[in-house]
Structure 1
Amino acid sequence: MPVVFLIIIGAAAGFIATRLMRMETDVITTVAIGIFGALIGGIALRVLLTLTSIAFGFVGAVLGAVLLIWVYRTYFQK
C-alpha cells in the first residue's frame, strides 16, 4: 500500500514540478522525477530538521537555564 501512495504522490509532485519548470515529459519520466524528488526532498528535510532540532535544543536549554536563574533570584536569593 505505501508503494501505491508513493507512486500517486510522486506522479502528482512530478506533474506539478514539470509544469513549474515548463518541461514536457512522458508519464513515466514525470512519475520518476516526482518519486526521486520526494526521496531527495525527504532526506534533505530530515537532515535540516535534525540540525535545527539540535540548535533549538540548545536554545531551549539556555532559555531554561535563564528561567531557572530568574526563579532562583526572585524567590530564593536573599
Structure 2
Amino acid sequence: MSRKTSVRYFEENLGELDTLVTQLESNQLSLEEALKAFEKGVKLSQECQSVLTQAEQKVQILMEKQHGEQLEPFDPEHTS
C-alpha cells in the first residue's frame, strides 16, 4: 500500500471509528449491534495503530539520517 493510500485509509478508518464510538455511546444499539460495532472498532483501531507505527518508524529513520540523532521515546506522563 502506498503512503498516500495508507494515509487516506487511516483518515477514513479514524472517521469511521469516531462514528462507531458515537453510536456506542448513544446506548441506542441492541446488544448484538453493539458487539458488532465494538468488534469493527477494535479492527479499525488496530489498522490505525499499524499505520501510526509505520509513520513513527519513518520519522525516526529520517531524523537519524538528517541529524544523526536518536529520538527519545514519547512518554505522555512526563510532558511539560
The normalised TM-score by structure 1 is 0.49
The normalised TM-score by structure 2 is 0.48
Q: Max radius of gyration: which structure?
A: 1
Give the helix-richer structure, 1 or 2.
1
